[in-house]
Amino acid sequence: MEKKSTSLNKVFITQLVLFGLIITGLLPRETAILLAVGLIIYLATAKIEDATIFFVRSIPFFIAIPIMETYDNLNIWRILSIILFLKLAHITGLKYFLRIKEFSKESKLLAILFVFAVLSIIPAVDKGEAVKRIIYFVNLSLVGMVIYYLAEKSVEFKKRLIKNITIPVTIVVIVGFIQVASTYFTDIYQFMRIWGEGIQMRQFGVLWSEIAVRLGNTWFAYYGEQLSLRVFSLFPDSHSFPQFVLLGLPALFAVSILKLTSNPEKYNILKKFINTRVSMNVVWVPLALLITILSGTRGIWAASVGVIIIILGVIFWMHRTRVKSYYKNIFKYISLYMIAFFMLFAVAYPIFVSPQFLLSKGDWGLFGERIKSIIDFGETSNSQRIEIWKASLESIKERPLLGVGIGNFPMVLDQRIFLARAGSSAHNIYLHVASEMGILALVTVIWFLWLVFKKSYENFVSEKDPLLVSYFAATILFVPWVLIYSLTDVALFDERSFLLFITTLSLILAIKNPD
């Protein structure tokens, strides 16, 4: 095992170095082709557990392959996910995936959702785009199948994967703070050249770079001539980045408070939890929460209120069902970090109103205005969202059964299909699903997500392993946080945040609870 881990670490470090050299322009983009070949060879020859761990570690660092001038946005992960699936199929045989009667209820719902997606091709104006969108989601889901299988078979794999999730989360948080620091040394034009025409072009391809630079991005908060950075780190936007961080927080909690969860007899009251020094890894929790605030994504801020309601509901339910104090104390302890989240706005304030991009800011109420704008329905962004929601509801009313077709949402707004790549969406993941695939597809999605939430709770109150206990306790908070935020955006469909979302859900669903 040690030798395998050493090999994994060497390949991962090599990938990180090459990734850094490519996106900074120190190596030509064509180097990504050699990197892709190397990663394909590693995943094809490594043990499936190591290959899967490597894949999850690398989610934010997968890079587009410049195959040719007119096609330079094929991301490495799309090839590697197929290799992982083929390795699994080699182990299990293809019959394993056709045993529908043995599928869990959650798996059957996902199969039904796939059927709705395929049927939605019928009304789609652009059937090619619909097929490509289905392929995209199937490609993403292949990784989930592998993780589900391995996590179901081995507790040690689950624990190892959770520990490894902390690596990419920590790195993107660090890059986020470096990005903030860079705004004090560059003007807005230099920043756009570095990130839009440079780093992001080398990460995601020329097409995305053109969209981000020419058509629009979510990287800045504007108030007149004043602007502030909305941190996006190594992600294409400031919406998918905080979702990735939130989905990684359960892993950060799991490795940080292991001392508390490993001694249920010693730490049997909440006061002892609070007064005990835990691992220094816990410092990454407030840093992750702070960088989430600095993303400037108001929907993330607003969704935190929904998390508070969930916390109160879960605590009430635990008391009503007489759950052991050990589990109550762990959940309450993790929930207390929500107080830290709100307190960190005081830290974010001076950063947000500071003179970034070599521009002074005369209005120190900038940050407060952005917070207040959350409930200002007349604010431009909010009013546009409301209009889009109305159009989406009207479209659902007109096409309730199969929608306008998956990947064809721009038709709802009478836009060109191409604009789906530029962010044309319902700005609500649930309305988006219903608009594209119909009301029954939405019901299927909500039912599935409800079962996932229940499973998170059941895993938490029945689990005995201390690392898994804290991980599942945290998923009760942070997975719903992302799903509540999705009422105002569809950024969860970004490949990086969605891959970690699938990883998290696979870990949750792979646990077999005692009857």
Does a structural domain hold residue 432? no
pLDDT for the residue 57: 97
pLDDT band at 421 (very low <50, low <70, confident <90, very high): low
Lowest model confidence (mean pLDDT) among 17-21, 46-50, 76-80, 269-273 = 269-273
Percentage of the chain with pLDDT > 90?
71
pLDDT for the residue 216: 80
pLDDT in tens, 263-314: 766 666 777 667 677 777 789 999 999 999 999 998 999 999 999 999 999 9
Does a structural domain hold residue 142? no
Does a structural domain hold residue 42? no
Q: Identity (one letter) of the amino acid at 205?
A: G
Rounded CA separation 441/429 (Å): 12
pLDDT for the residue 94: 82
Does a structural domain hold residue 219? no
Which residue spans within 280-418 are E strands per DSSP? none
DSSP 217: -
Lowest model confidence (mean pLDDT) among 374-378, 428-432, 438-442 = 374-378
Residue closest to 253 by CA, chosen among 476, 509, 13, 5:
476
Instruction: List, in order, residues 6 or more apart from 479 with CB less than 8 Å away.
Output: 247, 250, 452, 453, 456, 504, 505, 508
pLDDT in tens, 339-348: 999 999 999 9
Lowest model confidence (mean pLDDT) among 78-92, 134-148, 259-273, 396-410 = 259-273
Does a structural domain hold residue 490? no
Q: Is residue 64 helix, strand or coil?
A: strand
Does a structural domain hold residue 344? yes
Boundaries of domain holding 277: 244-376
More confident call, 483 vs 225: 483
pLDDT for the residue 367: 60
Q: Identity (one letter) of the amino acid at 424?
A: S
At residue 2, does pLDDT exceed 50? no
Average pLDDT of the segment spanning 420-432: 81
pLDDT for the residue 224: 58
pLDDT for the residue 361: 66
Residue 71 φ then ψ, to 5°: -145, 90
Neighbour count for residue 244 (Cβ, 10 Å): 28
- Model pTM? 0.93
Burial environment of residue 368 by CB neighbours within 10 A (0 to 12, 13 to 18, 19 or more): middle
pLDDT for the residue 515: 43
Average pLDDT of the segment spanning 471-497: 96
Does a structural domain hold residue 256? yes
Rounded CA separation 199/333 (Å): 39
Average pLDDT of the segment spanning 9-34: 96
Which residue spans within 212-288 are E strands per DSSP? 220-223, 226-229
Does a structural domain hold residue 338? yes
Rounded CA separation 340/283 (Å): 12
Question: What's the structural domain count of the chain?
Answer: 1
Judge whether 247 and 482 are in contact, CB under 8 Å.
Answer: yes
